[in-house]
Amino acid sequence: MRLRVRYGAGALASKAALAVTLAWGQPATAEQVHILALGDSLTQGYGLLESEGFVPQLRAWLAARGHDVRIVNGGVSGDTTAGGLARVEWSLTPEIDAMIVTLGGNDLLRGIDPAVARGNIEGILKVAQAGELEVLLVGMQAPGNYGPDYKAAFEAIYPELAESYGTLLAGNFFDGLMEDGAAPADLDAFMQADGIHPNEDGVARIVETPGPQVEALIAQASE
């Protein structure tokens, strides 16, 4: 868990509470971990009831495994990596211990230069690094319609930046839906009518794949 420096009356109150705790000799208890999920409509839960989206289903998956965690839904529909970079600093409120970054899908839909997307995601990771935040970076699989060079360059963003910045990595947001190399749009039973966003059942399958990495993120943030 990160140590935070507080000032003013809040700091005095915190110090007083700490002194009382030490005086009573009470054992330390695990604190709730606060995670920001920074992303686009896939994170936000586009087209779903609030309880069906990625964040609440991930929270429930973690709670079922005994984790005391609060996940802030920082998903904005239509957001690109540039949008995520523009809002990451004010989204990281003081209580946040770690961050899940799931961005790039809208960059792919718009054919944005992979170098631009890389720069934006790297900017987000620099903000996290400056704040001493643990990060799970979730990758995206590029379609083949922009050509093999574009596909290779875009998909390389995530593992390369994860290695450079020492973050955890989940290979592809849709890995939980992949069966024998099928694309997400082919799995009609798990997708909404637009063929882009998962339905409730699809989200349930998706959550199971990055779940263990999120558990690792919680462990790192709790150290």
**First vs last Cα of the chain: how many Å apart?**
5
| Annotated catalytic residue, options 34, 40, 67, 197 | 197
Q: Estimate the share of the chain in helix, then strand, then coil, as percent rounded to the nearest 5.
A: 50, 15, 35
Query: What's the residue count for the chain?
Result: 223
Q: Quick check: is 51 catalytic? A: no
Q: Quick check: is 41 catalytic? A: yes
Tell me how far CA of residue 120 lies from CA of 32, 41, 48, 84, 94, in angstroms.
30, 18, 28, 8, 22
| Annotated catalytic residue, options 41, 67, 97, 107 | 41
Nearest-CA neighbor of 104 among 50, 153, 167, 48?
A: 153
CA-CA distance, 22 to 203, in Å (whole number)? 44
Catalytic positions, please?
Answer: 41, 194, 197
